[in-house]
Amino acid sequence: MATSTVPRLLSLLLLLSALSLSVGSSSMETVGQRECDYFMLCLQWPGTICKSTHHCCSSNGCCRSQPLTHFTIHGLWPNYDDGSWPACCSHSDFDIKKVSSLVPELEKYWPSLYCSSPSLCFGGKGLFWAHEWEKHGTCSFPVIQDEYDYFSTVLDLYSKYNVTRILSSAGILASNGDRYPLGDVISTIKNAFGASPIVVCRHGSVEELRLCFSKDFKPRDCTMGSDIIDDASYLRSSCPRYVSLPTYAPLVLGDVSGATSWSTDH
C-alpha cells in the first residue's frame, strides 16, 4: 500500500504545480491586489481637446483631415467605492500583436489626441493604448482576464452605449455657438443609459463623459447619491451651469513645420 501511495502523491504534486504554473503564465492575477468595486468608461470630446492642438504629428487623431465628431475612448478604469483606484497592478507589457484584429476599430474610436506619449508604469513612454492597458487594464482582473479581453470589452461597451447618438437625438449637438444646461446633458444620459454619468469640463466645454458599470457590466451611478439632477448639478462638477460641445478645424499635418510623431508636447 505504501508503495502505491508515493507515486500517487508524486503525480498529484506534479499536477498541482503544473496547474499553478498555467495560472501564473496565462492570467494577470496579482498578489495582494484588492479586486475593484466597479468600472468607469471614460469618453472624451475631441472638439474640446483638439481646439488646443498647436503641433501636429501623424499619431494625433486631432490632425486627421476629417475632424472627429463623436466621443472617443479614453479608457476603462477599475475603481473602488471609497473614491480611490488601483493602478499598475502587474507587469504585463502592452503587446499590439495581441489586439491586431481590433486595431482598425481602436484607431477609429480610441485615437490618441496628443502628440506626446504618455508614461508607462514600469518606465519609459509608449502608445496611449499601452498606457491605458498597463495603468488601468492590469487592475481589472479577475473580471477582465487579459489584454485582448480589456480592449474588446471596452469596444463592446462603447458601441452599446453610444453617447454621441443619445445626446444628438435630444438636440444636444456639436456646435460652437450653442450652450446646453449641464442638467439636461446629465439627465439625457441618465434616461437613456439608466444611471448617472460624470461630466468633466475644460473652460466651460465638455471634455469627458464617464459612464459607470458594476462588475457584470450593468449600468450604475458613477457616484453614490448622484442621482439627484437639479439646477445645482454644476456645483458638484468641474462644469458651469451651461456647457458646450465645440467643433474644431483640424490643423493640416503637412502645413506644420518640424512636426514628428511622438516628439511634441501637448
For the question of residue 105 being annotated catalytic, the response is no
Map the footprint of ligand AMP across residues 216-255, applying CB under 6 A: none
- Amino acid letter for position 118: P
C-alpha cell at 86: 488601483
Q: Is 55 an interacting residue with respect to ligand AMP (CB under 6 A)?
A: no
- Interaction between residue 39 and ligand AMP (CB under 6 A): no
Q: How far apart are CA 30 and CA 33, in angstroms?
A: 6
Binding of ligand AMP by 264 (CB under 6 A): no
Among 45, 74, 99, 210, binds ligand AMP (CB under 6 A): 74
Among 114, 151, 158, 161, binds ligand AMP (CB under 6 A): 114
Only one of the segments 110-118, 172-180, 242-250, 255-263 lies at the binding site for ligand AMP (rule: CB under 6 A); that segment is: 110-118
Q: 135, 185, 196, 211: which one contacts ligand AMP (CB under 6 A)?
A: 135
H helix or E strand, kind and range, residue 79:
strand 72-79
Q: Please state, in angstroms and rounded to a whole number, the distance separating the CA atoms of residues 11 and 7.
A: 6
Least spacing, CB of residue 218 vs ligand AMP, in Å: 23
SS (H, E, C) 84-134: CCCCCCCCCCCCHHHHHHHHHHHHHHCCCCCCCCCECCCCCECCHHHHHHH
Which residues make Cβ contacts (< 8 Å) with residue 55, sequence separation at least 6? 115, 256, 259, 264, 265, 266
* Residue 136 annotated in active site: yes
By CB under 6 A, residue 132 contacts ligand AMP: yes
Catalytic positions, written as ranges: 74, 132, 136
